[in-house]
Amino acid sequence: MKIIMLGAPGAGKGTQAKQIATKYEIPHISTGDIFRANIKNGTELGKKAKEYMDQGLLVPDELTCDLVMDRISQDDCANGFVLDGFPRTIPQAEALDAALAKIDAKMDFAIDVDVPDSHIVNRMSGRRACLNCGATYHITAIPPKTEGICDICGKELVLRDDDKPETVQKRLDVYHDQTQPLIDYYQKQGILKSVDGTMPMEDVFAGIVEILGA
């Protein structure tokens, strides 16, 4: 099963994608997580990506597309994958379709996690992320067992650099301008599904499972 998670920054793409990956035993591929791992490890890609991410801008397609195409060609993706944060522009979506067409494959579902902008800033300012293992918490909705410490790996939790309110607003603007057109793109392909992302997380997941089939 090949799935794309669409939705604004903070809509809950990552939260839901992790659960999908576990239930359907497919890899969770988050371009944001890949860039953050590169930043943490001080790679050339990380240095370039950080310049854009810290401003709330998209990393250029040429730095993003090859990375994803390489990842989805690996053996563990043979039975499918869930893409989180990719594609984010029409050229990225076209590059993905073209790469899949070469192996006679196509995406099965594009799931839009729908959350209005008014909810987003609160969610982001409360999010705490583990830069070591990628786990995500929220200080009130999903608090870690010990404040500031990751339940899974015991490392310190941080507010992401791009979760400051002024950067969140920029990310929302970029989302509406460059990413929202993908909703039409996948609607035309007949694979778009939508879930109400303002519901509690378990209910959002139940809605997704209903779409994907048990």
Return the residue of 26, 64, 82, 110 that touches ligand AP5, per CB under 6 A: 64
**Phi and psi at residue 21, to the nearest 5°:** -60, -40
In the list ligand AP5, Mg ion, none, the entry touching 86 (Cβ below 5 to 8 angstroms by class) is ligand AP5
Our answer to whether residue 160 is catalytic in this structure is: yes
Among residues 148, 103, 119, the alpha carbon closest in space to that of 7 is found at 119
Does residue 14 bind Mg ion (CB under 5 A)? yes
Contacts for 21 with CB less than 8 Å, ≥ 6 apart: 27, 28, 82
Our answer to whether residue 128 is catalytic in this structure is: no
Return the residue of 2, 3, 4, 15 that touches ligand AP5, per CB under 6 A: 15
Q: Which is nearer to ligand AP5, 7 or 80 (CB)?
A: 7
Shortest-Cβ-distance residue relative to ligand AP5 = 32
Q: Could you count the other beta carbons within 10 Å of the beta carbon of residue 144?
A: 17
Q: What residue type is assigned to position 130 of the chain?
A: C
What is the 8-class DSSP label of residue 150?
Answer: -
For residues 39 and 49, is the Cβ–Cβ distance under 8 A?
A: yes
Does residue 11 bind ligand AP5 (CB under 6 A)? yes
**Binding piece for ligand AP5, criterion CB under 6 A, among 40-48, 53-61, 69-77, 99-107:** 53-61
Contacts for 59 with CB less than 8 Å, ≥ 6 apart: 31, 35, 48, 49, 52, 53
At closest approach, how far in Å is the CB of 35 from ligand AP5? Answer: 5
Separation of CA 103 from chain center: 24
In the list ligand AP5, Mg ion, none, the entry touching 142 (Cβ below 5 to 8 angstroms by class) is ligand AP5
- Residue numbers at the binding site for ligand AP5 (CB under 6 A): 7, 9-15, 31-32, 35, 52-53, 56-59, 64, 85-86, 88, 92, 123, 126-127, 136-138, 141-142, 162, 171, 197, 200-201, 204
Q: Which residues are catalytic?
A: 13, 88, 127, 160, 171
